């Protein structure tokens, strides 16, 4: 069994104005930096041994603020590709936004559910083979996908993942994990 410490990156300016980021490479806002720095104490209490992060700037900045461990960049932990919705607000998307949050809609040109599932399955299995606890700095949609795939929590049954926050799972085997904590903040 390996414990994964899944951290959603700190707040960005696009988060503040509710723009969909997806794979747009937006860095942390000043508030995001302050919040990530505050989360460091919560994360360090788990004594992570390994650090993996998404390649996006907001994950890189968060990782640097919460841990001194050398980071392995793993593209599999990147946020979902949101296609034509990147840069849009929920109001601009309309009723499809709520359906997307519930896991019922894929944005036009966005990453398909089977692609997300395959990517996340490999990412979790790879991370679980590293010395743990394993700290993974990633994105809200990615954490929700992990919880769906490995814990069985449907997207429509989850609150949004707070920026920044810590979600802790124990990976029991290649296909099952147990949720220990969700949305822990400083």
Which member of 9, 86, 111, 139 is catalytic?
Answer: 9
Q: Name, in order, each residue with C-beta under 8 angstroms of 149's C-beta and a sequence gap of 6 or more.
A: 117, 120, 121, 124
Q: Are 53 and 71 in contact (CB under 8 A)?
A: yes
Residue 115 annotated among the catalytic residues of the structure: no
Cα torsion through 74, 82, 176, 156, rounded to 10? 150
d(CA 165, CA 8): 5
Residue 9 annotated among the catalytic residues of the structure: yes
Q: Are 149 and 128 in contact (CB under 8 A)?
A: no
To 5 degrees, how large is the angle CA 69–CA 74–CA 75? 150
Which member of 30, 41, 79, 111 is catalytic?
Answer: 79
Q: How many other CB atoms are there within 10 angstroms of residue 182's CB atom? A: 19
Choose among 36, 87, 95: nearest CA to 63: 36
Q: What is the strand order of the sheet 2-8 is part of?
A: 71-73, 50-53, 134-138, 2-8, 165-173, 176-184
Residues noted as catalytic: 9, 79
């Amino acid at each position: 069994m390996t414990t994964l410490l899944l951290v959603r990156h700190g707040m960005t300016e696009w988060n503040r104005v509710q723009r969909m980021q997806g794979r747009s490479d937006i860095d942390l806002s000043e508030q995001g930096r302050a919040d990530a720095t505050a989360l460091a104490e919560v994360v360090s209490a788990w004594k992570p041994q390994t650090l993996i992060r998404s390649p996006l700037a907001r994950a890189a900045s968060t990782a640097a603020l919460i841990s001194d461990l050398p980071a392995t960049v793993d593209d599999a932990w990147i946020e979902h590709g949101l296609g034509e919705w990147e840069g849009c607000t929920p109001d601009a998307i309309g009723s499809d936004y709520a359906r997307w949050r519930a896991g019922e809609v894929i944005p036009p040109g966005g990453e398909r559910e089977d692609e997300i599932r395959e990517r996340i399955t490999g990412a979790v299995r790879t991370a679980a083979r590293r010395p743990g606890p394993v700290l993974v700095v990633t994105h809200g949609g990615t954490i929700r996908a992990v919880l769906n795939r490995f814990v069985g929590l449907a997207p429509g049954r989850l609150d949004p993942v707070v920026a920044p926050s810590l979600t802790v799972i124990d990976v029991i085997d290649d296909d099952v994990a147990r949720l220990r904590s969700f949305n822990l903040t400083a």
